[in-house]
Structure 1
Amino acid sequence: MSDPSLIAKSRMEYAGSPRMQKTGKGLDILVLIAFLFFFVVALVYGGIVFYKGSLEESLDGLTHELAQQEEDLDPKIIGEIARVDRGLATARSLLAQHVYTSHLFDFLEDNTLEDVYYTNFSYGFTNGGAVTVSGKASGFSALHQQLEQLRAQPTVSSITLTNVQIADAGAVNFGMDFVLNENLFRYR
């Protein structure tokens, strides 16, 4: 019902309490923040949808290009490439197992003293690298130094001195058996 009073009310009564006015402004700010947040989320979502579409389009293009490349391949060429690859794998395997005897001669050259020379030489690869040599040293001290020189090498697994005999003019004839690591004979 309407107020029958003819007395005018103060302005304060019409405007409402100051507390009511502040609450209304606070709600306006929250609504504005919510609207801005919604707008940002909508923009991000739209960007993601657009980016997803461009990725799918790019993927379709690449898939089509790959299918076209596969159609362009010649089966004869693919077979030839596969055959050559198998041949290369076999060659690599054979080279890895190949025995390089030149490494043995390099080893003997590097580790034989000047006062020692070999008169007979044989080797085999059944038990690693078994080497048998006969030789002549200028004396027992030279033979001992030669034996120690070979023992000091990490590639020598074992060494045995055989048939030691005194020769003319203080020289010493000897036989020697030693086993070398197989790694010495492999490609380096």
Structure 2
Amino acid sequence: MADPSLIAKPRMEYAHPSRQSEGGRGLGILTIIALLFLVVVGGVYGGVYLYRQNLEKSLDGLTRELSQLEHDLDVKNIQEMARVDRGLRTARSLLAAHIHSSNVFSLLEDHTLPRVYYTKFAYTFEKGISLGGKADDFLTLHRQLEEFRSFPLITRVTLDSIALTEDKEGSAINFFISITLAENIFRFR
């Protein structure tokens, strides 16, 4: 309803509304923000509570399953598995220390030149390999010795004796060499 007073009011009243109405509206916005915050906190708390309940149920189920599995395992089976495990560990250590002498023959096969052949072979772990053989000429024998010396698992090559021979096939070089091997050649497979 309109103001029945005929007395003019100052213009300031119209330009600025009264302070009472502003204070009431501000309190309403703060109340809404507080309620929203309360709802969010309550939602987070409820979510955490439900998540915790779910984890406890999962833990209880897994604990029951573990106890059932422990109950189902037979003591004899456990002892048998432990015995087999000890046997496997022993076998592994034996295989690691096993010497593969076939590596010596592979070495000779891989590093012998085509124009060289062996007539005598002796091997001992302490002394290494003693070889007697024939080569076509001195240059072939030299190349054979260099081939052995270039292989890293051969530690020493010694030419023990050398002789020039003549037969029906022509001349040849008879030789005896000693080869000292690195110990780890027997570990490779």
Query: Shared fold (TM-score greater than 0.5)?
Result: yes
Which residue number in structure 2 is paired with residue 3 of structure 1? Answer: none
Q: Is the 8 A contact 1:138 1:170 kept in 2?
A: yes
CA offset at residue 59 of structure 1?
A: 0.5
Aligned CA distance change for structure 1 residues 18 and 123 (closer, same or farther; 3 Å):
farther
Q: 1:140 aligns with which of 138, 141, 146?
A: 138
Aligned CA distance change for structure 1 residues 23 and 159 (closer, same or farther; 3 Å):
farther
Q: Counterparts of 2:132 and 2:42 in 1: how far apart (Å)?
A: 93
Which residue number in structure 1 is paired with residue 185 of structure 2? Answer: 184
How big is each residue's C-alpha offset from its partner over 1:53-95, in whole Å with a ceiling of 9 and x where there is no partner? 1101110111111111111111111111111111111111111
Which residue number in structure 2 is paired with residue 101 of structure 1? Answer: 101
Q: What is the root-mean-square deviation of aligned Cα atoms in Å?
A: 2.5
Which residue number in structure 2 is paired with residue 124 of structure 1? Answer: 124
CA offset at residue 112 of structure 1?
A: 0.7
Which residue number in structure 1 is paired with residue 39 of structure 2? Answer: 39
Q: 1:160 aligns with which of 158, 161, 165?
A: 158
Q: Counterparts of 1:184 and 1:163 in 2: how far apart (Å)?
A: 26
Q: Counterparts of 2:121 and 2:57 in 1: how far apart (Å)?
A: 75
CA offset at residue 164 of structure 1?
A: 2.1
How big is each residue's C-alpha offset from its partner over 1:93-138, in whole Å with a ceiling of 9 and x where there is no partner? 11122112222111111111122111221223347xx222122212
Aligned CA distance change for structure 1 residues 187 and 151 (closer, same or farther; 3 Å):
closer
Q: Counterparts of 1:23 and 1:126 in 2: how far apart (Å)?
A: 105
Aligned CA distance change for structure 1 residues 46 and 119 (closer, same or farther; 3 Å):
same
Identity of aligned residues (%): 50
- Secondary structure of 1:43 counterpart: helix
Q: TM-score, normalised by structure 1?
A: 0.82
Aligned CA distance change for structure 1 residues 29 and 73 (closer, same or farther; 3 Å):
same
Which residue number in structure 1 is paired with residue 63 of structure 2? Answer: 63
- Residue 171 of structure 2 corresponds to residue 173 of structure 1: no
Count of residue pairs brought into register by the alignment? 176
